Copies of this chain bind each other. A is one copy, B any other.
Amino acid sequence: MATPLPRDPIADARLNWERHGWSDVAAPMAAITAIMRTQQILLARIEGVLKPFGLTFARYELLALLSFARSGALPMNKASALLQVHPTSVTNAVDRLQGAGLVIRSPHPTDGRTTLIELTQEGRTLAKRATAALNSDVFAQSGFAEQDVDQLIRILGTFRRNAGDFSE
């Protein structure tokens, strides 16, 4: 992985698709494969930046979400919905964040089924610092041209809406 390949493996896959008579779906196949690979690259960068803070991307996302909540607290099911991950993934993340003293679980005042996740002061501070690091080391150097960023937001926004992520 250290050394670049001589040829683009996804472009090669597309050629293979075309050679096998699947030309009609070769382009979407290439686009989807490229999304998978790009996600992998971005995730690695993000995790690299977060590692010194003792955070993973999953835990960071939860911290960031809480830091934007007016009260600094959210029900777990709400977090699961907003982060669009499985409830058990939230349970897992909260377990670890709580172990690190960054959040605490507290009972919901009126609904006995619900558990609230609340930022500790330490968690709030760490979220701020981690966000600053991501902003400067990842987002400010995304490697996408400005126009392309807009294109991505538009294209993927439409896709996500069609996939049922949101109705708006």
Contacts and interface: CB of A to CB of B under 8 A. Distances in A.
B41 A166 contact: no
Given A34-B160, A165-B8, A29 B84 contact: no
A125 interface: no
Interface stretch (A48-56, A98-106, A111-119, A145-153): A145-153
Interface residues on A, range: 35 or more
Copies in the complex: 2
A149 B40 contact: no
Interface of A: 1, 4-11, 13, 16, 22, 24-25, 27-32, 34-43, 64, 68, 81-84, 86, 131, 134-135, 138-140, 142-144, 146, 148-153, 155-168
25 contacts: A4-B164, A4-B165, A4-B166, A7-B168, A8-B160, A8-B168, A9-B82, A10-B157, A11-B157, A22-B131, A24-B140, A27-B146, A28-B140, A29-B134, A29-B139, A31-B142, A31-B149, A34-B156, A34-B157, A35-B35, A35-B156, A36-B42, A36-B43, A143-B163, A151-B151
